[in-house]
Chain A
Amino acid sequence: MKNVIFLMALLLISSFAANAGVDVIVHPSNANAIDADQIKKIFIGKAKSFADGSKALPLTQGDGNAVTSEFNEKVLKKSSSQLKAYWSKLVFTGKGTPPKEASSDAEVLSLVASNPNLIGFVKQGSADSSVKVIQSF
């Protein structure tokens, strides 16, 4: 019985972890209106600049981070494999380069805080005042 409770708790935790939420962040000085569709276009390489014309550089996180798969599924509507296949098509034809990868929420925060061109995502609630949250998913 203990095992069952343990298993249920584990399931609850894992389902909770899977729905932790994602905050999309930019530099505080970035005043552009950026909707979900624009975020998607930037992260799949179809848009390369913000509304004011400044360069938009997407920053993703490593494949193994839970927040990455959540972002890919909720915002890009693609599984990790589908996204990898999508980028393979562009990389091996010289038509695009996948976003640069940060290793953790902390690294995303410090990079975005120091570069107005970057747009990244972190686990919901991790963002501090050094960045601006533009959308939550």
Chain B
Amino acid sequence: MKKVYLILFTCMLFISFLGHAEVRINGFASIYGGKTLDEGESLYGYSDEIDWQNGSLFAIQLSSDLSEGLSATAQVLARGNNDFNAEFEWAYLTYSISENSQISTGKLRIPFYRYSDFLDVGYAYRWAKPPQSVYNLNFSTYEGVSYLHTSYISEWDSSLQVLYGAVDTEFSAITDSDRGQLKDTFGFNWTLSNDWFMTRVAYLVTEATIDLSGSADLSALIGGLQAYGLTEQRSNIEVIEDDAYFAAIGIGINHENIIFDAEYTEFEIDNSIFAKQQQYYVSIGYQFDSITLSLTYENNDDENSRDQFNQVPRVIPGPNGIEIPIVVPNSNIYLQDVTNSALASQRASSDTYSLTVKYDFHTSATFKAQLTKLEDDLTGVNTGLLLFGVDLVF
């Protein structure tokens, strides 16, 4: 697939050289430093040693109107947390069916969140890092088609996006890179806005497969359940073509100098080790001319439902009325207990508070500093993080 993007990219350059179409070049960049406030702590990939790579990125976007309503766009992004290796973040063709509807195909952004479309363009939002309790999925693009329809409903601008496609990537599910696929991903994203208010709702469904072999403990548990012929219980841990959904709602207000944002998301992969995740944030900001101050509260709550526990029997009937205990070989550790603790290990609960200062010191650049404190409600550990940097568009 990567080759296809490279061909598209080369074609666009070639077309521009031939002078048949104008190629617009835009770009953006972020340079961020960050460190946790206390020794030995880590948060969002930062440690107590100051780091300049994790939140830094450079991107170039080429777009070209080919003719008859057809346009091509490719964005190449180099992320600091990927050693600044340049990769195609997205590459797609768009066809304008009419003034208010268009269809795109290629590698596109999944509209999980309000700021998904320009997640990497820090210049376009007021945080140094969008609220991570909500903006927590580590993948953001899919391959497929997207249909966008814009219209006016009395005084409101309506924007409805319907998408269909698939994802093939490394998730950070159990380890930092677990190979996985989402197929038959189908969803919609509807935004309604006027001059000072916006609201959105998004809903996506998919069939998820995630390779859990990166975790030795889970692999052993899955093997153990299979050895006892507990196929159903095994499939309730594994993620093989399991149904999953993602739902989001959000509102935003920008009235006079007051900025307010709130988003709630939840998602779950049915019949899997993974817990249902629910999270939200509320952020209020005030704009003093070129300086914007923001206060943000985030909450995250992940938990497997009670009916998923104790599904593994402690014994199975053997010959002559003997009951065979279901245990880890050569031990008295019951697989029921191991399974329960694997399900319980997915529990997470936290509160996060952030204070952000954004200073627009140039029409194309903004400086931000953010202080974040995460309180883990399960361990009682508090972690502080300081982030500061510059976002540019060019």
Chain A positions within 8 Å of B, measured between CB atoms, are 46, 48-49, 63, 77, 79-81, 84-85, 88-89, 91-95, 97
- Contact yes or no, B123 A94, CB < 8 A: no
B120 surroundings in chain A (CB, below 8 A): 92
Count how many pairs of residues, one from A and one from B, have CB atoms less than 8 Å apart in the complex.
53
- Choose one: B92, B148, B364; the contact of A84 (CB below 8 Å): B364
- Cβ of B377 within 8 Å of any chain A Cβ, yes or no, is no
- Choose one: B92, B109, B123, B360; the contact of A88 (CB below 8 Å): B123
A94 surroundings in chain B (CB, below 8 A): 63, 71, 73, 92, 94, 104
- Contact yes or no, B118 A46, CB < 8 A: no
A91 surroundings in chain B (CB, below 8 A): 26, 61, 63
Shortest CB-to-CB span from B289 to chain A, Å, is 8
CA distance A49 to B100 in the complex (A): 12
Instruction: Give the interface size class of chain B.
Output: 20 to 34
Contacts beyond the supplied A88-B393, A94-B73, A95-B117: 19 A-B pairs with Cβ under 8 Å: A49-B99, A63-B363, A77-B195, A79-B290, A79-B360, A81-B360, A81-B366, A85-B123, A88-B124, A89-B117, A89-B118, A89-B121, A89-B124, A92-B61, A92-B118, A92-B124, A93-B117, A94-B92, A94-B94
Shortest CB-to-CB span from A3 to chain B, Å, is 27
Of B73, B104, B118, chain A has the most CB atoms within 10 Å of the CB of: B118
Question: Nearest CB to that of A55 among chain B residues?
Answer: B99
- Contact yes or no, A48 B99, CB < 8 A: yes
A85 surroundings in chain B (CB, below 8 A): 123-124
A-B contact pairs, 5 of them (CB 8 A): A80-B363, A84-B364, A88-B121, A94-B73, A94-B94
- Contact yes or no, A46 B123, CB < 8 A: no
> What DSSP secondary structure best describes chain B's contact surface?
strand
Shortest CB-to-CB span from A27 to chain B, Å, is 21
Contact with A along B281-294 (1 / 0, CB 8 A): 00000000010000
B118 surroundings in chain A (CB, below 8 A): 88-89, 92-93
CA distance A110 to B124 in the complex (A): 34
Shortest CB-to-CB span from A29 to chain B, Å, is 22
Shortest CB-to-CB span from A92 to chain B, Å, is 5
